[in-house]
Amino acid sequence: MEKEVIKFLDLKAVNEAYRPEIDDAIQRVLDSGWYLLGKEGAAFEQEFAEYCQAKHCLGVASGLDALILILMGYRELGLIEEGDEIIVPANTYVASILAISRSGFTPILVEPDEQTYNIDPTLIEEAITKRTKAIMVVHLYGQCADMDSINELAKKHDLKVIEDAAQAHGATYKGRRAGSLGNAAGFSFYPGKNLGALGDGGAVITSDSALAEVITALRNYGSLEKYYNRHKGMNSRLDELQAAVLRVKLKNLDVDTEKRRQVAEDYLLDLKSDRSSLKLPHVADYGKHVWHLFVIRHPNRDVIAARLADQGIQTVIHYPIPPHQQKGYPELNGLTLPLTETIHQEVLSLPISPAMDEDSTRRVIETINKLLV
Ligand SMILES: *Cc1c(COP(=O)(O)O)cnc(C)c1O
């Protein structure tokens, strides 16, 4: 008998769980006759700011734009100038680095910590120069970076701390939520993220009111008052439909996260890593991991991925090529970052989502354990 395919992420099933409420939300927006910068967006901004334990939330068009707008905002405020350097983990998704170069700044790549895959705070100080203006941390896979040591360094060297929280909705560090752990944070609502829309979307979270005001203008052509342009802005807004859908999903985010945690807990308990070369994710004791991805490491990950595919189990590699080896970044191609390179050769993401049932989790565990004896 053909086994049922276990999808890496069954987005239809994830959203189906909230179908009646999502249908209502869409209907409400359609009936309102108002589709951009309206009541739904404003309500979502208030609810998500509160959720993130911060003062301001600004809905924008994507996670990449959220990060770009933060950097453009600092530039408009005169705090970062063209050519200034921003420290960023070398093993992040390329969007973090794109945001830096798109805004006219220079990304300085720093290797991650081998346990958490987040930026290694002990390597940051040697990367700081006179031109360094900010540290962009990335809470990769859903676990916060080690913020105390990073904020301390930032204070010592007068740097801004920007969180790329695109994978970390609801993650905590010492009791505080992602989005409130630095000076400003960018979130993504790409459909596959933990808080996912039905299309693109993103948000800036900050408690810095001056920055929030500049970004409010920048996302809307640089204007706070129609046809009066204070800045050279862009058009990057979260639309009313996405905001209305996100309000439904936000109400249920903690429930969804709990379901992800349950899958992760089963994997962590029952995948056999003691006698094989399999490395399981390390959960730091300083906070709550929200399991955007469950990433294992193995020197033969391509063989494992192929065997799992044979058994109808989908996996994904996050990510196959590190940013500094991408064709689009010739200026970074000369760098050697051994740990980042090894990580990209060995990582494999197992299926995880709020829609994953216990039988599927068991089947993934048994299949991998059989492969590795
Ligand atoms: C998804 C993601 C982004 C970009 O978000 P988009 O909404 O797709 O633009 C940025 N950084 C990280 C770490 C991401 O995972």
pLDDT tens readout for residues 139-179: 999 999 999 999 999 999 999 999 999 999 999 999 999 99
Token pair, residue 119, equals 């930026």
Question: Residue 125: phi, psi to the nearest 5?
Answer: -60, -40
62-121 per-position pLDDT tens digit: 999 999 999 999 999 999 999 999 999 999 999 999 999 999 999 999 999 999 999 999
- 163 pocket-lining for ligand 1 (C-beta < 6 Å): no
| 244 CA → ligand 1 middle, Å | 21
> So what's the pLDDT on residue 2?
65
- 96 pocket-lining for ligand 1 (C-beta < 6 Å): yes
pTM value? 0.98
> So what's the pLDDT on residue 182?
98
> So what's the pLDDT on residue 373?
73
Tokens 């998704």 found at: 93
Measured from the Cα of 189, ligand 1's closest atom is 7
DSSP code for 275: S
For the chain, what's the residue count? 373
Q: SS3 letters for 144-170?
A: CCCHHHHHHHHHHHCCEEEEECCCCCC
327: left (phi over 0), alpha (psi -120 to 50) or beta: alpha
Measured from the Cα of 202, ligand 1's closest atom is 7
| 340 CA → ligand 1 middle, Å | 19
The answer to whether the peptide bond before residue 319 is cis (omega within 30 degrees of 0) is: yes
- 63 pocket-lining for ligand 1 (C-beta < 6 Å): yes
- 214 pocket-lining for ligand 1 (C-beta < 6 Å): no
Indicate the pLDDT class of residue 274, thresholds 50, 70 and 90.
Answer: confident
pLDDT > 60? residue 1: no
DSSP code for 202: E
Indicate the pLDDT class of residue 276, thresholds 50, 70 and 90.
Answer: confident
279-329 per-position pLDDT tens digit: 999 999 999 999 999 999 999 999 999 999 999 999 999 999 999 999 999
- 164 pocket-lining for ligand 1 (C-beta < 6 Å): yes
Residue 167: name the closest of 291, 60, 9 by CA.
291
pLDDT > 90? residue 273: no
pLDDT > 60? residue 186: yes
Atom 6 of ligand 1: nearest residue by CA position: 63
Average pLDDT, the chain: 97
